[in-house]
Structure 1
Amino acid sequence: MLADTGRPYLFKKSRQSIKGQTLINQVIISTVFTLLFSNAAAAQFTPEQQTAKDRGIALYKQSDWYDSQPLLKTAAEAGDRQAQYYLGEAIRLSNWRTTAEARKWYEAAAEQGDLYSMLRLSSKDDLCKYMGTCSEKSGTDWRQQALKIAYERAEKGDTEAMTVLYTAGRGLGWLEKAADAGDSYAQNLLANAYKDGYGWFLIPGNREKAVERWFKASAEGGNPEAMYSYASFLYDNNGTKREMAHWLKKSAEGGYITGVSNYALRLAHLPDDLGYSLDLVKAYGLTYLLSKLEGGGTASEDGQRNLQKIAEKMKGQEIQEGIAFAKKWEKNHPPLSYFHPIYGY
């Protein structure tokens, strides 16, 4: 059986206040000027800073919270708000709490309009609340700002804002709107939400149909995690081997770590249940890549164990060919990734 994937976390609702609303208006005015400045800074983003950002985000998505930080910081200091958010996340996750340094980068990204940073700053569950390291601005203020801006953007068709409203606990309907608008990330989240029991389905079997529909839509939209989830759904619901083999391969080609692992094992016929031709060199190469990961998760450990199983069926020359294949694959495919939810953990 193929494995399940991660789920988003939700926030509870909180009240607005007159004081908070006034502060929101002040921040929005400040944000306009900040965005104008950041656009000018973005025009001066160097190739080196872009490379650092891309590599930093790739390491972050491999759960390498530590090695990603220096690279993300290079881009964050240049004013890139996405790098600022992920740097805040990497620092928070590596310290098990929102430190002053993490908060600094969340605030920098939030001041440029990053909604996920605003949500992170509004968290009621972070340890900084109990350790007294949070800044003066309250989580309620940040939440009010996030919701106000998200509603404004969502009404204009911004699917990320719709997904943020769902993440902030404003109703599954917002995620459904984002999915209907064609957002593959939202479609994958929605399929998982339905799979976990969210939403109402009066007619028996309609929930499963909805799960299948949105996994498939997300997969067709290019989401490697959804490609794997759709293959897994087909596996559990008597799909054809041809379809399962197609989507598992596409998931691996897109860099989804679980997809790569499952695809490699089936190329090695461990087991032979999807009809792939035996290809030990390719199987070894892909598993070799997994075994070299240095981030979190179990991919490296599993890869090392599976590498031994595959090697038992190979000759010495084939193993060298497998390593050569791994290097070629790495150059021509996206970085390996767990595809963590943007707002998770």
Structure 2
Amino acid sequence: MIKQIIISIVLNIFFSCSAVAQLTHEQQAAKDKGLTLYNQSDWYDSQPLLQIAAEAGDRMAQYYLGEAIRLSKRYTTAEAKRWYEAAAEQGDLYAMLRLSSKDDLCRYMGTCNGTIGEQWRKQAIKIARERAGRGDTEAMIVLYLANQGLAWLEKAAEAGDGFGQYLLASVYESGKGWFLIPGSREKAIGKWFKASAENGFPPGMYLYTNFLYEHGGSETDVGYWLKKTAEAGHIEAMVSYALNIAHLPERYGLPLDLVKAYGFTYMLSKLEGGGVGPEDGKRNLPRVAEKMNEQEIQEGIAFAKEWEKTHPPLSYFDPVYGY
């Protein structure tokens, strides 16, 4: 009961004051670098950087530090739980969901408390309903994730949320939702992946590319979206796009561009996180180089360095509340 009262008091203070941590230049730089590493699946090296901003009171850094710890340890440790609580006490709905998750090994490791978790879940639903009523699409998605009904996710998608559109298409693709007319499910999946792609949401762009490929889309359209997704910094799309513009092989009418192919593959090979990017980059770099002379290779490296200066960091774009 005491813990529940404390939670309510802290949340009331937060929402009445709308307190936001003001980071110094160094703290912001640490946060940005930490998020970059986290989004490249480097859950270990991201932690000390995120901790700098988290200790300064940054809510986002607190949540992602909890995520990095959980993913690296494969369950919510006491340390991860502490950072989720710090973020939740500042109103982070996803942190509240993590604290109330029933699908975590922490239930068996003794680092979760079921009663307190349920209180956080109630707070998340209460706050999300209030925000959703004001048109907040993130809150609508949280309500869906909190098992409050598919209709909330559909509302978020219809309101133009790129993540909501991507998630709704994925949910339909998994077999959820009712479709009475034959073929209407596939049409809805394509519709929402396309909407997410046109919204500029990289995971939506990537899955729309795959949808077109698997459903007889034109080579031109597949190539167009593969290029767009790769140029948005999506690591998995970049792996495929680089091979295509190196013609190893080429399947979508994309012109040969060995310098660009080498540059992209070079960037992938230098990633230090997990996932397919670093391994594929290291494996594919010699294949691209075989088709080039030394000058072209140096131009490819120069292209990569210039790209990194003028574009956002490469990312897997994992969902904020993912696996």
2:159 aligns with 181
Is 1:70 the equivalent of 2:48?
Answer: yes
| Aligned mates of 1:235, 1:177 — CA distance in 2 | 28
- The 8 Å contact of residues 284 and 310 in structure 1, kept in 2 or not, is answered as yes
2:204 aligns with 226
1:91-106 equivalence runs, <5 A: 91-106=69-84
2:284 aligns with 306
- The 8 Å contact of residues 24 and 144 in structure 1, kept in 2 or not, is answered as no
Q: Counterpart amino acid of 2:153? A: L
| Aligned mates of 1:246, 1:24 — CA distance in 2 | 52
- The 8 Å contact of residues 3 and 116 in structure 2, kept in 1 or not, is answered as no
Equivalent residue for 1:291, pick from 265, 269, 273: 269
Q: Counterpart amino acid of 2:286? A: Q
Q: Counterpart amino acid of 2:12? A: V
| Aligned mates of 1:23, 1:149 — CA distance in 2 | 18
Percent of matched pairs sharing the same residue:
65
Is 1:332 the equivalent of 2:310?
Answer: yes
Q: Give SS of 1:138's match.
A: helix
127-136 or 62-71: which moved more?
Answer: 127-136
Q: Structure 2, unaligned stretches of length 5 or more?
A: none
| Aligned mates of 1:280, 1:231 — CA distance in 2 | 22
Cα shift at 1:257: 0.7
1:15 aligns with none
1:246 aligns with 224
| Aligned mates of 2:307, 2:288 — CA distance in 1 | 18
| Aligned mates of 1:260, 1:93 — CA distance in 2 | 24
Q: Deviations over 1:203-232 (max 9, x none)?
A: 111111111111111111111121121122
| Aligned mates of 2:180, 2:73 — CA distance in 1 | 45
1:143 aligns with 121
2:11 aligns with 31
Equivalent residue for 1:323, pick from 295, 301, 317: 301
2:136 aligns with 158
- The 8 Å contact of residues 282 and 322 in structure 1, kept in 2 or not, is answered as yes
Q: Deviations over 1:169-198 (max 9, x none)?
A: 222111100000111011111111111111
* Number of positions where the alignment pairs a residue of Structure 1 with one of Structure 2: 323
1:58 aligns with 36
| Aligned mates of 1:239, 1:295 — CA distance in 2 | 33
| Aligned mates of 2:231, 2:26 — CA distance in 1 | 26
164-173 or 25-34: which moved more?
Answer: 25-34
| Aligned mates of 1:226, 1:125 — CA distance in 2 | 26
Q: Deviations over 1:60-98 (max 9, x none)?
A: 111100111111111111111111000000011111221
- The 8 Å contact of residues 38 and 79 in structure 1, kept in 2 or not, is answered as no
Q: CA RMSD in A?
A: 1.8
| Aligned mates of 1:185, 1:142 — CA distance in 2 | 24
1:6 aligns with none
